[in-house]
A = this chain, B = another copy of it.
Amino acid sequence: MSKKELAIGVLGAGGNIGHTHSQNIATYVDGARLAAVYDLNTERAEEVAKTYGAKVMASAEELIASPEIDAVVIASWDGTHADLAVKCIQAGKPVFCEKPLATTLEDAKKVVEAEKASGKRLLQIGFMRRFDPDYIKMKKILDSGELGAPLMAHCISRTRSHPKNHTTEQHITNIAIHEIDICRWLLGENLNEVAVRFPRATCFAEGTCQDPQLVLMQSDSGVLIDVEVSGNSYYGYEILCELVCEKGTIRLPVAAEPIVRSYLQCGQAIPEDWTNRFVVAYQEELQHWVDYLQGKTDVPGPGAEDGYEACKISDALIKAQTTGQWEKVEA
């Protein structure tokens, strides 16, 4: 490793995803080290710092400004992403920002513009599925052209560990957002029109949350995507995707688990949550970010514009939830 290790600071290191990123930087990512952390919850920040031998900073601003920090990971509460990203960009610091880029389209635009003003590509967004080996293989087969042009995509996103107080809108911005991005990436084009339709709600949905929902999206070339979005999937966590092409189809495999034959039944375990499903993807997105910063690859990861496009599509979907009509995505 001739290159100097990058000193990384993590904002929101005390949360679930913040801890995952901190751990991956400290123990997995090659060419980087966990230098500092910050979290509103000081106790949690200190715990993480101690475990991985990092420093605790007194504020996000201090961490961003510190000359000891080469690059920043934003893993704090969704509502803070845009503001902190802009601060990093203005400080000239490369930043890895968890999705979503912002909670409003306006804020997302501010980040995109800040980056444009900087004249540099400084932000990578946490659309980690692009680094999942299964999706990568899927895209490779699609791009080979041997199955002809893609026509449809059937997706399923089921999660059982979803926060109980989530709203119908949040199932778009927190769950379906991944299908939005991965379909854009798989197809290599934008999505321009969307709709939502609700089946009867599951008995496990709480309050006014309409769950599940069927999300429909159409790409510029006409590929039609349907997504079952379930936030209260009692039986387990599952991500499925089938790309239907002119000459064949490609399906995402399900994770391999031992096959158990027991009394009159042959079965395999289904995971409780996402913890084990995207382990490699979470590691590789950070490795790629660091590799890009160190010049080991020319190919940037997903950027601010991908976060911004996803926000536009989310917005159209949330509108479609109310109108019941097909809605155009803002150009």
Among candidates B138, B154, B235, B326, residue contacting A247 with C-beta atoms closer than 8 Å: B235
Q: Is the CB of B214 within 8 A of A226?
A: yes
A200 touches B250 (CB 8 A): no
Q: Which of B203, B250, B267, B270 contacts A149 (CB 8 A)?
A: B203
Cβ-defined contact, B270 with A268, below 8 A: no
Q: Are B151 and A258 in contact (CB under 8 A)?
A: no
Find chain B residues with CB under 8 A from A263 CB.
Answer: 234-236, 247-248
Q: Mark A245-263, 1 if CB is under 8 A from B, else 0.
A: 0111111111111111111
Interface residue ranges of A116-142 to B (CB < 8 Å): 134, 137-138, 141
Closest to A230 in B: B244
Q: Is the CB of A199 within 8 A of B218?
A: yes
Nearest CB in chain B to that of A146: its residue: B262
Contacts of A214 in B (CB 8 A): 152, 216, 224, 226
Cβ contact within 8 Å between B246 and A202: yes
Cβ contact within 8 Å between A250 and B246? no
CA distance A254 to B1 in the complex (A): 35
Judge if A145 is at the interface, Cβ distance under 8 Å.
Answer: no
A258 and B134 form a contact (CB under 8 A): yes
Q: A217 to nearest B CB, angstroms?
A: 11
Q: Is A188 an interface residue (CB 8 A)?
A: no
Per a CB cutoff under 8 Å, which of B154, B212, B248 touches A261?
B248
Chain B residue at minimal CB-CB distance from A263: B235
Report copies per complex.
Answer: 4
- What is the total number of residues of chain A having a CB less than 8 Å from a CB of chain B? 74
Q: In the bound complex, how far is the Cα of B154 from the Cα of A30, in angstroms?
A: 40
Q: Given A28-B28, A224-B214: A262 and B235 within 8 A (CB)? A: yes
Q: Would you call A147 an interface residue if the criterion is a C-beta within 8 Å of the partner chain's C-beta atoms?
A: yes
The secondary structure that dominates the A interface is loop
Chain B residues with CB under 8 Å of A156's CB are 154
Does chain B have a CB within 8 A of A7?
no
Assess whether A148 is interfacial by the CB under 8 Å rule.
yes
Is there a chain B Cβ closer than 8 Å to A26's Cβ?
yes
Q: Whole-angstrom distance from the CB of A82 to the nearest CB of chain B?
A: 33
Q: Are B52 and A1 in contact (CB under 8 A)?
A: yes
Contacting pair B262 A252 (CB below 8 A): no
A198 within 8 A of B: yes
Would you call B264 and A272 a contact (CB within 8 A)?
yes
Q: Are B236 and A253 in contact, with the CB atoms below 8 A? A: no
B-chain residues with CB within 8 Å of residue A216 when the two chains form the complex: 197, 214
Instruction: Tell me, yes or no, whether A265 is within 8 Å of chain B by CB.
Output: yes
Interface positions of A from 189 to 204, Cβ below 8 Å from B: 195, 197-204
A266→B254 CA distance, assembly (Å): 11
| Interchain Cβ contacts under 8 Å between A and B, 19 examples | A28-B28, A137-B258, A197-B224, A199-B222, A200-B223, A214-B224, A230-B244, A235-B247, A238-B261, A251-B260, A251-B261, A253-B268, A254-B256, A254-B266, A264-B271, A264-B272, A265-B268, A266-B270, A267-B268
Chain A positions near chain B (C-beta within 8 angstroms): 1-2, 26-28, 30, 52-53, 134, 137-138, 141, 146-149, 151-152, 154, 156, 195, 197-204, 212, 214, 216, 218, 221-224, 226, 228, 230, 234-236, 238, 244, 246-272, 324, 326
